[in-house]
Every structure is written in C-alpha cells, then in structure tokens.
Copies of this chain bind each other. A is one copy, B any other.
C-alpha cells in the first residue's frame, strides 16, 4: 500500500501567520489573551492555544480587558470598533487576502455600487465582509440565487477568498445581463485554487482519499466534496481516532490532502495513523 500526500496539504499563508501571531501574543502578554470565536477552523490548534493561555470568547462584551486577537477570517467592522473603544490591546491576525477583500467591499459601497458578495452567508469571513459595506449588500452562494434579482445600475462583486473561480465567474457573467456597469475584484486566494486542483488530480490517481481538517472548516468540506465527485471512497477526518480499518481494505493507493487550516503536524499524525491502521487491519 502507498500513501500519497498532496504537495500543498498543510496550512496556507494566512492561517500560518495567524497561528504564529497568536502564540507570540501568548508568550508576550501572558494573561488575558482572547479570541472571539476560534482563531482558525481547526480544533487541535485551538486546544494548543488554550494550553498557552489564549481563551476563546463568544463576543467582545465578554472581554473586560487585556489582549484580543482578531481571527484569520476577519472580524465585523463594529466589533473592531468596540475593541478600540474598550481600550483593548489588538493583535490583528486577519488574513491579508481577507483584508484586501474587505477593503474592496468597502470602497465599492462608498463609490455607490450595490455590492454582491459571492460566498456562504453563514461563514465568519462573509459576515465580516458584509459588515464593511456601507450601503446595500447581497450575499449570493450560487448563480441560481441571482435568478430573482432585479438588477442595478452600478454593481460591484467581491468573492469570499475560498470560493471556486468557476462559481465566481458564472455569477459575474449573470450580473452583466442585469447591470449597466460591473466592477468585480478577483479576491479568490491562489492557495485555495491550487489546493482544489491538487486534490482533484490526486483523487483521479488513488483508491481512497483522506481529507484532513476541522469539521467546521468550510474549505476542508469543499475539498471533500470535490474529491467525492471523482471518488466515492473519500473521508473527511479531523482526528487520528476517526480512521476506520475497513476504509483501507484492498486499497492500493491512498491519497491525503489537508484543508487550509490544517497544520502539518496533524497531517503527519494522521498519515502515520493510516499506516498503523492498515498494518493492524
């Protein structure tokens, strides 16, 4: 049996940066270091951070003082404002690509564009993006959702950084029919596109695919979906204990990919776990 790990399986630039910043903040400020919601969508990293003193809080009002770390997906505009008003020390770990998208969403709305956000309405990144729009904003997940939209004169389009390019393109093309002017920023992160392409290529070559990442990670879930279209034997796992011997029976090659928020040590641990499970199974 052979286990093939995708080349870009580990954390992306923005997530790595956020983790580094959080550990540094924990070392430097020691007590009263908080995030609002998990720093990234990976429970193992969040647990490690807890061990060094970074506590997850539900909202800004749960924090009386100390240091607040803004998560990699970004925080809503008002939350950042409240943190400043409260005099908290701010460590801004927002991914620079997300910050860029926030900036475009804001500047489009200030210039009078109706803003269309291509993404998942319930995702923290999209909630954050929406909060930067000063005027009207619509969140659209699929081209279908634009069906009943009446259109507008000036329309600006920004994508969640982890969207697929195909979906973004289809939505922009549809907008063109109903708008006099379209201004679209391609805010999709290259790392996402690269990871999806690699996972797809690997799924074609193997007999079983293990997609590693938090069960709450949207980009990991999307990776698993993409692989499952090619290969039914695709499993999304967060921890090594979730591996099941029957998955690997009579399988020659096993592919491994990780979401953008999955640290390499988790991928190594699970890859070793696969070898162990196979030899035991």
**A→B interface (CB under 8 Å):** 165, 168-170, 172-173, 176-177, 179-186
| CB <8 Å contact, A184 and B186 | no
A183 lies within 8 A of B186 (CB): no
A185 CB contacts on chain B under 8 angstroms: 180-182
Q: What is the CA–CA distance of A184 and B186 in the complex, to the nearest angstrom? A: 13
Which B residue sits closest to A157, measured CB to CB? B182
A156's closest neighbor in chain B, by CB? B183
Residue of B nearest to A185 (CB): B181
Each complex incorporates copies of this chain amounting to: 2
Other 9 A-B pairs with CB < 8 A, given A169-B177, A181-B183, A181-B185: A165-B176, A169-B173, A170-B173, A176-B184, A177-B186, A180-B185, A181-B184, A182-B183, A182-B184
Q: Are B182 and A172 in contact (CB under 8 A)?
A: yes
Chain B nearest CB, measured from A121 CB (Å): 22
Give 13 pairs: A residue, B residue, CB < 8 Å, sorted on A: A165-B176, A169-B176, A172-B172, A172-B182, A177-B186, A179-B186, A180-B185, A181-B183, A182-B183, A182-B184, A183-B183, A183-B184, A184-B184
State in angstroms the CA–CA spacing of A183 and B180 once bound together. 11
Q: Which residues of B contact A177 (CB under 8 A)?
A: 165, 169, 186
Query: Does A168 lie within 8 Å of B176, measured CB to CB?
Result: yes
Give chain B residues whose Cβ lies under 8 Å from the Cβ of A181: 183-186
CB-CB < 8 A to A182: which residues of B?
Answer: 172, 182-186
In angstroms, how far is the closest chain B Cβ from the Cβ of A106? 15
Q: A172 vs B172: C-alpha distance in the bound complex, in angstroms?
A: 8
Q: How far is the CB of A109 from chain B (nearest CB, A)?
A: 16
Please give, as numbers and ranges, the residues of chain B lying within 8 Å of A186 by CB-CB distance. Answer: 176-177, 179-182
Chain B contacts of A176 at CB under 8 A? Answer: 165, 168-169, 172, 184, 186
Tell me the complex Cα distance, A183–B179, Å.
Answer: 12
Q: Smallest distance from the beta carbon of A90 to chain B beta carbons, Å?
A: 28
Min C-beta distance of A151 to chain B, whole Å: 10
Nearest opposing residue in chain B for A181, CB measure:
B185
A165 cross-chain contacts in B, Cβ below 8 A: 176-177
**Residues in chain B near residue A169, CB distance under 8 A:** 173, 176-177
Q: Bound state CA distance, A181 and B179, in angstroms?
A: 17
Give Cα A101–Cα B176 distance, bound, in whole angstroms. 15
Q: Which residues of B contact A179 (CB under 8 A)?
A: 186
Bound Cα distance from A50 to B185, whole angstroms: 51
Rounded to whole angstroms, the CA-CA distance of A165 and B176 in the bound complex is 9
The smallest C-beta distance from A139 to any residue of chain B, in angstroms, reads 19
The interface residues of chain B lying within 8 Å CB-to-CB of A168 are: 176
| Residues of B close to A173: CB separation below 8 A | 169-170, 172-173
Report the minimal beta-carbon distance from A260 to chain B, rounded to whole angstroms: 20
